[in-house]
Amino acid sequence: MMEGVSSRTQVVYNSRDQSINNSAFKSGYELDLWQEVRKRWMVVGVLLAMSLAVLAPRLGAPGGFLHSEYVSYLPLWYIYFAAGRTRAHAARARLYALTALHAQLGAAALCAVAVSALAAALDRRVIEGAMLASVARPCAWLPLSLSQDGVTPALAAVNYAASFVLSPLVHLLLCGRIPIPLIKRVFITIATAFVPFTLGTLAQKTDIDPRSSKVSALVILYTECCQLLREAEGSLYITDVMATLFLVISWLTTVATSSYLYVKCGMLTLNEAHALLLVSTPKSIHIEWISATLCTASGLARLPAVFIAPAQALLLAAITGDDQGDDDNADDGDSDELPR
């Protein structure tokens, strides 16, 4: 009798020891939180810039304490100058063509699909503002600050040039009138983008710290968010805000993820699709066209642009990350080059 009890007790003790010793079930994946923060610090910076713009919009708005209508050109000038100093690499012609088509026509088509799906929950002015934002000029400073692959500047330049042809065609379809580009914005683009980029190409080609361009992008993002918050109407319904936020996030995410369909079709490599994503997704929040009165984005129609500026920055910052000091990718520098 005692032998039976001792054997059962021994079995219980053995099973208890096995349950305590669970090291065999420990996951082999280890998360270094500090390393992830260092790699994704741009995401934290975007969130901080957005929070500061919401809490103190007058500080960074035009005419405010910082006089961002003048100061914001300094970080913009530096981003293009740094982009000109990077070593340029050639890419296939199909990448340039697909980038322009995806940024101008594809973005507008995907926005129309998202708007039609949420039409019942959106105000008419929000719908008009979203469609006009989808055919806006490409935002070049954001991808240039996040990538130093040597191909992004050429892609951004081709995309910007193509917008002079494709954007008016979409405007004609939406408004029934071909818009005229604002001469003031053209001169500003030449002074803040073309001139510093040209000076950068003439300077010595050296490796520069990409963090300085990213910090400059955060300053521009803060000033743009402050400007948009001042331009939007002060009295808003929570339903309009939430519906517009969902519209912008779903639209930008669809535009970004659909770029990888070219990989599935065998038209682009993974690195090429990543470059296409960076250049074709962001849109400029400035009004750069003189169009019909019905197609003028003002008041509540500017609400989508309020969410587009931080949403596209947060999306691209989360996708790119910061590979500085990443030893795993240090030996794979040649694998990141795009096919020529």
Structure tokens given for 168:
């008016």
Residue 326 has pLDDT above 70, yes or no: no
What b-and-e string marks burial along 128-160, b requiring 16 or more CB atoms within 10 Å of the CB?
bbbbbbbbbbbbbbbbbbbbbbbbbbbbbbbbb
More confident residue, 35 or 247: 247
Q: Output 117 or 179, whichever has higher pLDDT.
A: 117
Confidence of residue 327 (pLDDT cuts 50, 70, 90): very low
- Is 46 or 289 the better-scoring residue by pLDDT? 46
Confidence bin at 240 (pLDDT 50/70/90): confident
Please report the pLDDT score of residue 228 as a whole number.
81
Residue scoring higher pLDDT (249 or 296): 249
- Answer whether residue 70 shows pLDDT above 60: yes
Tens of pLDDT along 148-187? 888 898 899 888 888 888 877 777 777 777 777 777 778 8
pLDDT at 19 over 50: no
Structural domains of the chain, ranges and CATH numbers in brackets: 72-322 (1.20.1530)
Mean pLDDT of the 82-106 span:
87
Task: Give me the percent of the chain exceeding a pLDDT of 70.
Answer: 77
Reported residue count of the chain is: 340
pLDDT of residue 187: 85
Whether 329 shows a pLDDT value over 50: the answer reads no
CA 86 to chain centre: 21
Confidence of residue 11 (pLDDT cuts 50, 70, 90): very low
pLDDT at residue 195, rounded to an integer: 92
Judge whether 311 and 248 are in contact, CB under 8 Å.
yes
Provide the mean pLDDT of the chain.
78
Q: Is the pLDDT of residue 76 over 50?
A: yes
Per-residue model confidence (pLDDT) at position 120: 82
Mean pLDDT in residue range 196-209 = 81
Question: When comparing pLDDT for 216 and 135, which is higher?
Answer: 216
Q: Lowest mean pLDDT of 111-115, 180-184, 194-198, name the range.
A: 180-184
What is the predicted pLDDT for the residue at 216? 92
Q: What is the C-alpha separation between 131 and 315, in angstroms, rounded?
A: 20
Residue 122: partners with Cβ closer than 8 Å, 6 or more residues away: 115, 130, 240, 243, 244, 247
Q: How confident is the model at residue 298, as a pLDDT?
A: 60
Per-residue confidence (pLDDT) for residue 338, from 0 to 100? 60
Summarize the confidence of residues 239-268 as an average pLDDT: 86
Supply the DSSP symbol for 150. Answer: S
- In angstroms, the CA 2 to CA 9 distance is 10
pLDDT of residue 188: 84
Tokens of 98: 């697909």
The structure's pTM equals: 0.78
Interval 36-68: pLDDT, tens: 777 778 888 999 998 888 888 888 888 878 888
